[in-house]
Chains A and B, each alone.
Chain A
Amino acid sequence: MAERKPDEMGYYDQEELVQIDYDPPRSGWMDTPVDFRPGSWIYPGKPRHLEYLGLANPRQWSPTDDDWQLPPNWKEIIFEGMRERLDKYRTFKIFMDCCVRCGACADKCHFFIGGGDPKNMPVLRAELLRSVYRRDFTTAGKLLGRFAGARELTEDVIKEWFYYFFQCTECRRCSVFCPYGIDTAEITMMGRELLNLLGLNVNWVIEPVANCFRTGNHLGIQPHGLKDTLEFFADDIEEITGIRIDPPINKKGAEILFVTPSGDFLADPGTFTCMGYMMMFHELGIDYTWSTYASEGGNFGLFTSHEMIKRLNAKIYAEAKRLGVKWILGGECGHMWRVVQQYMDTMNGPADFLEVPVSPLTGTVFENASSTKMVHIIEFVADAIRNGKLKLDPSRNDHLSVTFHDSCNPARAMGFFEEPRYVINSVCRNFHEMPENTIREQTFCCGGGAGLGTDENMEMRLRGGLPRGNAVRFVQEKYGVNQLACICAIDRATLTTVCDYWAPGVQVTGIHELLANAMVMKGETERTLNLRLEPLKEEPEGDDV
Chain B
Amino acid sequence: MGIAHEMAKKQREISVAEFFEKNRHILGFDSLTKSLVVSVKEAVDNALDACEEARILPEIYVEIQQVGKDEYRMIVEDNGPGIVRKNIPLVFGKLLYGSRFHAMRQSRGQQGIGISAVVLYGQLSSGKPARIISKIKEDEVAYEVLLTINTKKNEPKIIKEEPIIWDREQGTRVEVVMRARYTRGKQSVYEYLQQTAIVNPHAQITFVEPDGKKTVFKRVTQELPPPVREIKPHPHGIELGEFINMARSTKTYRLTSFLTTEFSRVSPKIAEKICKLAYLYGDMRPQELSLSEAKRILDAFSKVKLMAPPTDCLSPIGETLIKKGLKNVLGSLRPGFYAQPITREPKVYGGNPFIVEAGMVYGGELPKDQPVRILRFANRVPLLYQQGADVITKAISNIDWRRYGLEQRGGEGIPVGPAVILVHVASTRVPFTSEAKEAIAEVPEIREEIELALKALGRQLKMYRVKKERKKKLSEKFFIVSKILPEIARKSAEIVEKPVPRLEPVISKIMNVIWIDEEITGRDGYVDIRVRIANFTEKPQKFTLYADYPLGNIVETDGSIEDDYIKWEIVIDPVSYQYHSFTLSEASGYTETNYYIDGINPSKVIGAEPLPGDWRIKIDFVESIDEESEDVEENEEYTEDEVIDDEQ
Do A and B share a complex?
Answer: no
Which chain B residues have a beta carbon within 8 Å of chain A's beta carbons? none
Q: Footprint of B on A, CB under 8 Å?
A: none
